[in-house]
Amino acid sequence: MPDVNSLVNEFLIKLKKRKIEGSKATAKLTAELLRSFISQKRLPHTNQAGALIDAVKAVGEELIDANPVELAVGNIVRRVLHIIREEDLSLTTAAVGGLSLSAESDNEDDVDQGDHPALSAAAVAAAARSTLRPPSLQTLLEDMPHSTAVPQPSSSGGDSEGKSKSADKNSMTRKLKHNVIEAVNELIQDISTCHELIAEQAVEHIHQNEVILTLGSSRTVTEFLCAAKEKKRSFRVFVAEGAPRYQGHALAKELAARGLQTTVITDSAVFAMISRVNMVIVGAHAVMANGGVIAPVGLNMVALAAQRHAVPFVVLAWGSQVLPCYVVLLCNQAELTISIEKMLAYGNILCPLYPHNPEVLLNELKSPSELLDFGEFSDCLDFGCGSGSPLLHVVNPAFDYVPPNLVSLFITDTGGHNPSYMYRLLADYYSADDLVVRRRSTS
């Protein structure tokens, strides 16, 4: 245990000190940490899933607090919680389902066939609540028989079958943990291979002799463009350099090395060039449930330019980037602060993400020294004269918020989606109960 604790602490410190950067790296590290946490967690004999969920929640809360701006952490925690619930569910259904299915299956079939619409709605709602499973498309279409079969055992904490099948218990203990770890492994795998899944779709979107514009650098975008190139598509890429970090330079270098026609432009030249562009492809920091995007700074400007010239604005995002909350841009351009709306309307469940503080700054203001050399400008920052307040301010926000109406298409590892469809994806990835990771948030 102390081993895991130190691991957790180390990770916390890294997060706090902003030593981990990039949503993917963070996501992967978080998933790996949670995997080792789960594998070392000793579970009680009863209500394992509940205990595990509580434990993971406790850790997750700390992780999220460490860097509230790095949304990937929270998303991965929610994903893992969701996995635990699902595995628990499938285990209990496997154990009890065999006996009870025959009795209830007929009913369920009826429901599916829509014979009793009123009943079905209630049943679905009850099932969703009791199994902690949100009404995702998959649930609605595929998993119905299983999920509705469980309410009784799972709600009673599994003690009923615990009495009857004590022999099975030990194996189950191990099995739950084993399955969860397996699934988390799969998640980690997904995170590392999501580029490929996204890149596979490149040929469907990039056509011969097109001009693509991108800003800054993103691993996903690089892979996406290169995948199209490998499929013998010939096209040109405009790379906006992405001040102040100028990651676009690195991207241009890499693209040129892979044999792509590349042109580097300044960020301020985007509007001038956009009329010659066929499509804008960018990466994202996080995707909001409403289809809005938190992206590297400068992208809102690109999106507006693209809209003005009716150029498709495509965002590449992978599953765990989708954030289960709406975001509202509250303040003006100068401050560039993004606040999360207090309440999230999700179906008819209201999910407050940060119930105690309606205004959460989601932007990270980085060091001004990325823009200017401190030494050179130190003369302007002499507080010894005048009123004592500085005359020169340097603001260096890391992110922009691109509203959903500017986004034409999301390409995720599961395919292309319309912004208005993004909230649907949530149900596949997250459990509604986990949207608030903070425990006892209502009290």
Partner 1 sequence: MVAKKGGNRGVVGEDAEEELKRDRLQAILLADSFATKFRPITLERPKVLLPLVNVPMIDYTLAWLESAGVEEVFVFCCAHSKQVIDYLKNSKWFGQPNFSVSTIESHNSMSAGDALRLIYERHVISGDFILVTGDTVSNMPLTLALKEHKERRRKDNNAVMTIVITQSKPSSITNQSRLGMEELFMAIDPDTKQLLYYEDKANDLKGTISLDKGLLMDKTSISLHNDKQDCYIDICSPEVLSLFTDNFDYQHLRRHFVKGLLVDDIMGYKIFTHEIHSSYAARIDNYRGYDTISKDIIQRWTYPLVPDVQFFGNCATKLERRGMYRASEVGLSRSAQIGPFTVIGNGTSIGSNTEISDSVVGEGCIIGSNVSIEGCYIWNNVTIEDGCKLKHAIVCDGVIMKSGAGLEPGVVLSFKVVVGQQFTVPAYSKVSLLQQPVKQDSDEELEYADNSRGVIGIPSNSNTPEKLNQQFSTKLSDSHRQTVSEVGNGGVGFIWSLGEGGHEEEWRHSVAPIPADRLVEISKTATDELEISNRDGNVLPPSGELEPDSVDNDSDEDIRDDYAYFEKEVEATFLRAVHENVTEDHVILEVNSLRLSYNLTSTDCASALFYSMMKLALDTPHDTPGELVKNFATAITKWQKLLKYYLTSIDEEIEVILKFEEMCLESTKEYSPLFVQVLHLLYDKDVIQEEAILNWAAEKEEADESDKLFLKQAEKFIQWLNEASEEED
Would you tell me which residues interact with partner 1 (CB under 8 A)?
6, 9-10, 13-14, 16-21, 65-66, 331, 335, 337, 357, 359-361, 365-370, 372-376, 378-379, 381-390, 393-394, 396
Structure tokens at 259: 């044999």
Instruction: Report which residue type is found at 352.
Output: P
CB nearer to partner 1: give 347 or 390: 390
CB nearer to partner 1: give 102 or 387: 387
CB nearer to partner 1: give 98 or 386: 386
User: Among 405, 367, 433, which Cα is nearest to 133's?
Assistant: 433
Lookup result for tokens 């995007």: 293
CB nearer to partner 1: give 141 or 385: 385
- Distance (Å, rounded) from C-alpha 18 to C-alpha 252? 27
**Min dist. Cβ of residue 315 to partner 1 (A):** 27
Lookup result for tokens 């203001």: 365
**Min dist. Cβ of residue 18 to partner 1 (A):** 5
DSSP, res 120: H
Q: What is the DSSP pairing of strand 211-215 with strand 322-323?
A: unpaired
- Distance (Å, rounded) from C-alpha 371 to C-alpha 365? 12
Q: What's CA 342's distance to the chain center, in Å?
A: 19
User: Among 126, 10, 117, which Cα is nearest to 59's?
Assistant: 10
**Min dist. Cβ of residue 384 to partner 1 (A):** 5
Angle between helices 48-66 and 71-113 (to 10 degrees): 140
**Min dist. Cβ of residue 385 to partner 1 (A):** 6
**Min dist. Cβ of residue 61 to partner 1 (A):** 13
- Distance (Å, rounded) from C-alpha 210 to C-alpha 410? 19
**Min dist. Cβ of residue 25 to partner 1 (A):** 10
CB nearer to partner 1: give 67 or 92: 67
CB nearer to partner 1: give 63 or 322: 63
CB nearer to partner 1: give 374 or 421: 374
How big is the CA angle at 350 (ends 347 and 51), to the nearest 5 degrees?
105
**Min dist. Cβ of residue 369 to partner 1 (A):** 4
At residue 350, φ and ψ (nearest 5 deg) are: -95, 125
